[in-house]
């Protein structure tokens, strides 16, 4: 993933940073041209200004998963290694935050047998926000917030609650996110704000506690 980001960054700058491959077996490596170094630093060390640390949802027993087997057409479907949240223990996040780190969590979690599953990222975020009794959770989407009727762009809600949320005409693409919003609040989060993550001004407003749609219990 990082290599793709490095190449994308270089392509955006019109640089040819393709490396040659050399060696065999375990010694096989891709050459790193001098021209590629700035892009490696830009992507890999992008957290130089924040004390970020990456971890999976399995680390420190943060998320315990179970296999997700939805009922489709009356039958239990096998989606392979797709999981859902069974429980959340935020102790490792609380420790990292106390020590001044910014945790960045990937949504890969294991079940009680140690089998790893890919869990919906919104589910993981909601479980963490709920378990930590977050004052506010922020969801970034590609729309400006939650609409009373998505087909009517003048119906954007500045605030709503779970009761009203359950009665709205939700666009298909927002259904999983709305489910995660509800789960986060029911699990203990005080509020959730939804804003357009493709607009930097909207994101900055959201961090300031403004804009988008604010959802409370």
For residues 133 and 2, the model is more confident at: 133
Same domain, 36 and 62: no
**3-class DSSP assignment, residue 102:** strand
Same domain? For 190 and 158 the reply is: yes
Q: Which residue has the tokens 């392979």?
A: 80
* 89 part of a folded domain: yes
In degrees rounded to 5, what are phi and psi of residue 214? -100, 125
Asked whether residue 208 falls in the same domain as residue 146, the answer is yes
pLDDT tens, position by position, 147-159: 998 888 899 999 9
Query: In terms of residue numbers, what domain contains 31?
Result: 1-49
Decide: 179 and 148 in contact? Cβ < 8 Å: no
Kindly give, in sequence order, each residue whose CB lies less than 8 Å from that of residue 113, ignoring residues fewer than 6 positions away: none
Q: What is the pLDDT of residues 55-96, one digit of tens each?
A: 999 999 999 999 988 888 888 888 888 999 999 999 999 999
- Segment 27-34 mean pLDDT: 55
CA distance linking residue 42 with residue 34, whole number of Å = 14
Give the integer Cα–Cα distance in Å for 68 and 83: 4
């Amino acid at each position: 993933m990082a290599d793709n980001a490095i190449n994308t960054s270089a392509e955006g700058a019109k640089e040819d940073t393709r490396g040659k491959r050399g060696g065999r077996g375990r010694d096989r490596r891709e050459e790193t041209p001098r021209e590629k170094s700035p892009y490696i630093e830009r992507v890999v060390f992008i957290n130089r200004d924040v004390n970020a640390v990456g971890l999976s949802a399995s680390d420190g027993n943060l998320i315990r998963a179970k296999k997700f087997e939805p009922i489709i057409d009356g039958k239990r479907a096998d989606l392979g290694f797709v999981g859902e949240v069974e429980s959340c223990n935020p102790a490792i996040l609380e420790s990292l935050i106390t020590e001044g780190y910014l945790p960045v969590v990937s949504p890969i979690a294991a079940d009680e047998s140690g089998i790893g599953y890919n869990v919906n990222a919104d589910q993981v975020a909601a479980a963490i926000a709920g378990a930590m009794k977050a004052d506010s959770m922020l969801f970034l989407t590609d729309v400006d917030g939650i609409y009373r009727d998505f087909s009517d762009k003048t119906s954007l809600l500045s605030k709503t609650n779970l009761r009203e949320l359950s009665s709205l005409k939700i666009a298909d693409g927002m259904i999983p996110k709305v489910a995660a919003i509800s789960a986060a609040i029911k699990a203990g989060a005080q509020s959730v704000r939804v804003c357009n993550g493709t607009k930097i001004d909207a994101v900055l407003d959201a961090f300031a506690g403004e804009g988008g749609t604010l959802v409370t219990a």
